Amino acid sequence: MQKLRSNKLNLIMKFILTIISVLTLLPLVYLISVSFSTDAGIARYGYTLIPRSFTLEGYKYIFKVPRPIITGYMVSVTVTVLGTALGLALSSTLAYVMARKDYRYSKATSFYVFFTMLFNGGLVPTYIVMTKLLHVQNTIWGLIIPYSISPWFTMIMKGFMETLPFEIVESAKIDGAGEFKTFVRIILPVAKPAIATVGLFYAFAYWNDWWLAMLYISKESLIPLQFLLYRTLSNLSYILNNMSSLLNVNMSNIPSESVRMGMAVIAAGPMLILFPFFQKHFVKGLTVGSVKG
């Protein structure tokens, strides 16, 4: 009886989630369709689920000079891997001490972290610190250091860690393990889903970023993929908005709507590969017993 009911419930939930998923995916199907459509076709038929005027022009445009795209991918991957590792190391340790209610300075630390979420010095002072003090401009570190610790992700991590069964810490202490050893041996394994999630967020923050490249990088060999795409989009929308003030803009550089959508596809694509890699760690049912054993 119980089982039957829970099966029925399962079906209903799957049904609801399927509807939500379809609604979520629908705009994306349009997006992909547009990336394969001609401008004239879009002007004539609007957005359609299946391209009415099929073309590969958009992708050809994006890949016409493939060298920067390849470099861009490499830079992005390097930055994402290094940055995520650094970010996780800094955030998980800091989040852990905040989550430890028996730590004397846990609330003070929380406040210290939280304060930076609300107040920031602004662009110029940050730029000055990064370039005059740390000299990260035109190095790979310019793309890593500024995001190496995110107060926001650290607080999320703290939230996750608070849901962990902290009795295990007590038992580890009784076994005579030091704090650092407890953290590495006991906490990190049970915090796997939390680390995977925050790692995912860090990875995507790094992967999606074009802002740091805009500020700190002027060497073409260090331009990440997203900035490559962003640069084209922003250039485009600026020119479209200010055409008459710029009397002789070179219009042959203006990409079409299919290019914009194609760029979105290319930028979001790698996520679909990366995502399952992180999902592996979304393991349910880690218990005190399983850790000890």
In the region spanning residues 69 to 88, those forming contacts with other proteins, defined by CB under 8 A, are none
CB of 186 to other proteins, least distance (A): 13
User: Is 188 among the residues that bind other proteins (CB under 8 A)?
Assistant: no
Determine, following the binding rule CB under 8 A, whether residue 275 of this chain makes contact with other proteins.
Answer: yes
194 sits near other proteins (criterion: CB under 8 A): yes
The least distance separating other proteins from the CB of residue 69, rounded to whole angstroms, comes to 10
Q: Is 180 in the site for other proteins (CB under 8 A)?
A: yes
Residue placing its CB nearer to other proteins in the complex, 6 or 54: 6
Q: Is 59 in the site for other proteins (CB under 8 A)?
A: no
CB of 268 to other proteins, least distance (A): 4
Q: Which 14-53 positions form the footprint of other proteins (CB under 8 A)? A: 14, 16-17, 20-21, 24-25, 27-28, 30-31, 34, 39-40, 42-47
Among 90, 140, 188, 205, binds other proteins (CB under 8 A): 90
Q: Which is nearer to other proteins, 85 or 179 (CB)?
A: 179
Under the binding rule (CB under 8 A), the answer on residue 220 touching other proteins is yes
Question: Per-residue x/- mask for other proteins, residues 102 to 121, rule CB under 8 A?
Answer: -xxx-xxxxxxxx-xxxxxx
DSSP per position, the chain = -HHHHHHHHHHHHHHHHHHHHHHHHHHHHHHHHHHTB-HHHHHHH-S-SS-SSB--HHHHHHTSSHHHHHHHHHHHHHHHHHHHHHHHHHHHHHHHHHH-TTSTTHHHHHHHHHHHHH----HHHHHHIIIIIS--TTSGGGGTGGGSS-HHHHHHHHHHHHTS-THHHHHHHHTT--HHHIIIIIIHHHTHHHHHHHHHHHHHHHHH--HHHHHH---GGG--HHHHHHHHHHHHHHHHHSGGGSTT--GGG---HHHHHHHHHHHHHHHHHHHHHHHTT------HHHHH-
